[in-house]
Amino acid sequence: MGYVRVYNGVIKVIGNQQSIVFIGFMGAGKTTIGKLVAEKLRREFIDIDEAIEKEYGIPTSEIFKKIGEKAFRAKEKEIIIELSKRQGYILSLGGGAFLQEETREACLQNCTVIFLDISWEYWKERIGLIIDSRPVLQGRNQEEIRELFNSRQAIYQHHHIKIGTDDQQPEQIAEYIVSKLG
């Protein structure tokens, strides 16, 4: 059994064990929804930011401060490319991971990529909840964050499945994803 996936005009039938990758802007719900989908499909969930934090033994904001974004991005790419080759995982990627072409290509080739699409109107209500733990948001005003939000949308267009999350609860979204994956 499998399901059909289309990307760049190429149609593939995907086996049930293909890993699933969640992409989207910070705070879109990738980790929450990814964990729910993993529970429902009885698969192992990995949050890439957490995996990077484990390697360095400090939180992401400290990695950015002490070691730098460049090192964070290098580690992010290395971990994602390695995990994308494995079967059966549910991976939640950081919102900037798809900026790197090799990361994008590895995920699009090896996994099913699900874009969690949230509108600015909904997202801006979450700023206060996430800003402290997201170094790329710090020191920017709302207009600058909006520009970042808009500029990132292009990289998220590289996906297999897009799910609009406005007005939906994580549980509903996870159920929908599971039903769509068959």
Q: Return the axis-axis angle of helices 101-110 and 69-84, rounded to nearest 10°.
A: 20
Among 59, 88, 135, 170, binds ligand S3P (CB under 6 A): 135
Determine, following the binding rule CB under 6 A, whether residue 34 of this chain makes contact with ligand S3P.
Answer: no
- The sheet with strand 20-23 has its strands ordered as 44-47, 89-92, 20-23, 112-117, 161-164
Among 131, 136, 161, 178, binds ligand S3P (CB under 6 A): 136
CA 8, CA 106: separation in Å to the nearest integer?
15
Q: How many CA atoms lie within 13 A of 157 on its CB side?
A: 6
| CB closer to ligand S3P out of 5 and 45 | 45
| CB closer to ligand S3P out of 79 and 94 | 94
Q: Are the C-beta atoms of 113 and 160 separated by less than 8 Å?
A: yes
| CB closer to ligand S3P out of 14 and 136 | 136
CB of 137 to ligand S3P, least distance (A): 8
**C-alpha angle with apex 33: 14 to 64, nearest 5 degrees?**
105
Long-range contacts of 167-170 (CB under 8 A, 24+ apart): 167/122, 170/29, 170/32, 170/33, 170/36
Residue span 51-90 as binding mask against ligand S3P, x where in contact by CB under 6 A, dash where not: ---------x------------------------------
Q: Are the C-beta atoms of 158 and 111 separated by less than 8 Å?
A: no
CA 85, CA 99: separation in Å to the nearest integer?
19
Among 19, 38, 90, 95, binds ligand S3P (CB under 6 A): 95
| CB closer to ligand S3P out of 5 and 27 | 27
CB of 75 to ligand S3P, least distance (A): 11
Interface ranges with ligand S3P (CB under 6 A): 26, 30, 49, 60, 94-96, 134-136
